[in-house]
């Protein structure tokens, strides 16, 4: 958008894997907005993805860290402050993963070891990031921490599986830690509840194409893309949102306020029989 609204701001961006990632698009936009930052992902993701290429584009260091590992997080934050030349102003938590969803384990037969992993990677990791930042006093006053979430935290999306619980916990951590960090250091913590987005994590959810087209039909503005989300993240990191904290903000083209739309009635779904028997014909 051509505005350097993150000039002189320093940050860490977790979760860029490839050009489809929300974190990838956010890195590009944050760079355009004048920010300096470090990119972080797991060793494995750094081997498999194109993160170093993004690092070159944004003039950003890439540092490996498992977001569930407190030692990794401490090293990452200390090294980031050293490389960037001071305390941080923003952190993007754009990380999520469920082994149950990935392996198509039915919700009513969850593998509980996998479930723990889902919760640790997708929710508790936000607590760990915030606790590490607080311990190291790594964030400046009015610093902004943003985590990505999905409306499956509040409503039932049948194939979202145990990610629903993970996102509900993530949003709860946003409120609880947001209170404490706000009181202690005036640091802001928010989550953005994003539309279905065609990314590696998104496509891992069963029936993703239907999620995508359903919300596209339902939302007056249509689905928000990864690029749209990146613009919103930049706004949330900036000083224009200094008093926004402890919020879960829907960034979904209006989907979360809808019941049914003319588009859905007229174009997308045709009920072909007794609804109780789940006889729906979903048009292309
Ligand atoms: N794609 C969607 O439809 C959608 C919708 C709403 C919210 N979200 C959320 O957006 C965030 C980003 O996902 P995305 O859609 O850009 O997909 P993505 O697959 O590009 O990003 C997920 C990232 O999490 C990283 N990750 C997984 N385990 C990790 C660990 N232990 N330590 C550090 N990093 C780890 C992956 O390497 C990957 O880079 C996630 O929280 C996701 O749940 C996605």
22 CA closest ligand 1 atom index: 16
Q: List the domains of the chain with CATH numbers.
A: 10-259 (3.40.50.720)
Sheet with 188-194, edge to edge strand ranges: 61-64, 36-41, 10-14, 88-93, 139-149, 188-194, 248-251
Question: How far apart (Å, rounded) are the C-alpha atoms in residues 152 and 272?
Answer: 27
For residue 48, what are its two tokens?
């498999």
Find out whether 189 and 174 touch, Cβ atoms under 8 Å.
Answer: yes
pLDDT, tens digit, for every residue of 196-226? 999 888 888 888 888 899 999 999 999 999 9
Find out whether 13 and 23 touch, Cβ atoms under 8 Å.
Answer: yes
φ and ψ of 219, to 5 deg: -85, 125
pLDDT at res. 221: 97
pLDDT at res. 272: 59
DSSP state of 18: S
pLDDT at res. 284: 42
Find out whether 145 and 90 touch, Cβ atoms under 8 Å.
Answer: yes
pLDDT, tens digit, for every residue of 92-116? 999 999 999 999 999 999 999 999 9
Model confidence band, residue 2 (pLDDT cutoffs 50, 70, 90): low
> Which residues are within 8 A (CB) of 173 and not within 5 positions of it... i.e. 6 or more apart?
123, 124, 126, 127, 130
Question: How far apart (Å, rounded) are the C-alpha atoms in residues 79 and 71?
Answer: 12
Please determine, for residue 283, whether its predicted confidence score (pLDDT) is greater than 60.
no
Pocket, ligand 1, Cβ cutoff 6 A: 14-15, 17, 21-23, 41-42, 45, 66-68, 94-97, 121, 148-150, 194, 196-197, 199-202
pLDDT, tens digit, for every residue of 241-269? 999 999 999 999 999 999 999 888 877 66
Q: Name the residue of 22, 44, 149 to mutate for ligand 1: max ligand atoms within 8 A of Cβ.
A: 22
Q: Name the residue of 94, 120, 152 to mutate for ligand 1: max ligand atoms within 8 A of Cβ.
A: 94
145-173 b/e (C-beta count within 10 Å ≥ 16 → b): bbbbbbbbbbeebebbbbbbbbbebbbbb
pTM exceeds cut of 0.75 = yes
15 CA closest ligand 1 atom index: 39
Mean pLDDT of the chain: 94
């Amino acid at each position: 958008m051509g505005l350097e609204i993150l000039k002189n701001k320093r940050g860490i961006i977790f979760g860029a894997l490839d050009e489809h990632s929300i974190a990838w698009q956010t890195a590009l936009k944050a760079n355009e907005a004048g920010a300096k930052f470090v990119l972080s992902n797991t060793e494995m993701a750094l081997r498999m993805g194109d993160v170093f290429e993004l690092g070159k584009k944004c003039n950003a260091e890439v540092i490996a860290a498992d977001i569930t590992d407190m030692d990794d997080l401490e090293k990452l934050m200390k090294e980031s402050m050293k490389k960037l030349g001071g305390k941080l102003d923003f952190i993007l938590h754009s990380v999520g993963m469920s082994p149950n969803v990935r392996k198509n384990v039915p919700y009513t037969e969850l593998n509980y070891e996998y479930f723990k992993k889902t919760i640790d990677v997708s929710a508790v990791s936000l607590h760990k990031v915030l606790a590490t930042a607080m311990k190291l006093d790594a964030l400046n006053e009015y610093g902004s921490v943003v985590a990505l979430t999905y409306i499956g935290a509040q409503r039932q999306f049948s194939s979202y599986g145990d990610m629903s619980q993970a996102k509900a916990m993530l949003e709860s951590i946003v409120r609880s830690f947001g209170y404490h960090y706000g009181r202690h250091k005036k640091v802001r913590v928010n989550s953005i509840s994003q539309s279905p987005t065609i990314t590696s994590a998104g496509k891992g959810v069963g029936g993703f194409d239907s999620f995508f087209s359903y919300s596209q039909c339902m939302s007056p503005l249509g689905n928000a893309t990864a690029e749209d989300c990146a613009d919103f993240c930049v706004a949330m990191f900036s000083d224009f949102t200094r008093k926004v904290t402890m919020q879960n903000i829907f960034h979904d083209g209006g989907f979360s306020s809808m019941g049914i739309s003319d588009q859905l009635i007229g174009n997308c779904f045709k009920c072909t029989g007794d609804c109780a028997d789940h006889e729906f014909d979903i048009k292309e």
